[in-house]
Structure 1
């Protein structure tokens, strides 16, 4: 079921959002200061390709909070907006509701990725 969900996810906007993350990662990786942000963007691109079957655990400390503030100002808010738009578009139909919910979860993660970790579900 995860495989089918991920394939449909790619068709309904996941591929476009993943390519957007990769582009952001390239732009942020130009400078040494932006390199940690670029690496995080590449991790988000990878997660966006196959989000079903994974759980996000939030955490972190002061360093993660500071990094998340810079992240939100530079790229987080507009990437989260992309997920919200995709989520609203997916929620139009009954079949798209699980994909819309997944988009909203990814929107929250795209606002605060530092200090969070992604784990595969065992089921």
Structure 2
């Protein structure tokens, strides 16, 4: 089912937003200091081209560990990202979502655009995984939290 969704998505506008992510990545790479953001743009660009069957989750939720992207520096990176590129990519996804919502058949695509708009606002510390991996990660994180609460920690 996700294959059909991805083909329809790609043909009905996902291609253009994927190109938007790639363009943002190229601009970030040209600036040299933006290389980490550029790399993230290309990863998310692949996700924007074919998003069905995948999901963006917080890396801390996946690994149960803090890292440079999920802590204070990640927050700072997201603020810088929002100012220079995130707002514009999110605006593109919201505009695409509105166009998709106009038709009944486009509603699932509009919802996907809104998810990508949220990701466009703060992508640092996020990772793209299959829906199955995301669900298993959330279950594992929940078990860890429950075990921690039971032990009085």
TM over 0.5: yes
User: RMSD in angstroms over aligned alpha carbons?
Assistant: 1.4
Q: Aligned pairs, how many?
A: 123
Query: Separation in 1 of the partners of 2:37 and 2:56?
Result: 19
Gaps of 5+ in 1: none
Give TM-score, length-normalised by structure 1: 0.94
DSSP 3-state at the match of 1:122: helix
Q: CA deviation at 1:64?
A: 0.9
Query: Match of 2:46?
Result: 46
Greater relative CO, 1 or 2 (CA 8 Å, sep 6+): 1
In structure 2, distance between residues paired with 1:56 and 1:19 = 19
Scaled by the length of structure 2, the TM-score of the pair is: 0.76
Which residue among 86, 107, 118 is the counterpart of 2:128?
Answer: 118
Q: Give the corresponding residue for 1:89.
A: 99
Q: Flag the structure with higher helix content.
A: 2
Residues 4-43 of structure 1 mapped to structure 2, 5 A cutoff: 4-43=4-43
Moved over 4 A (4+): none
Give 3-state SS (helix, strand or coil) of 2:77's partner. Answer: helix
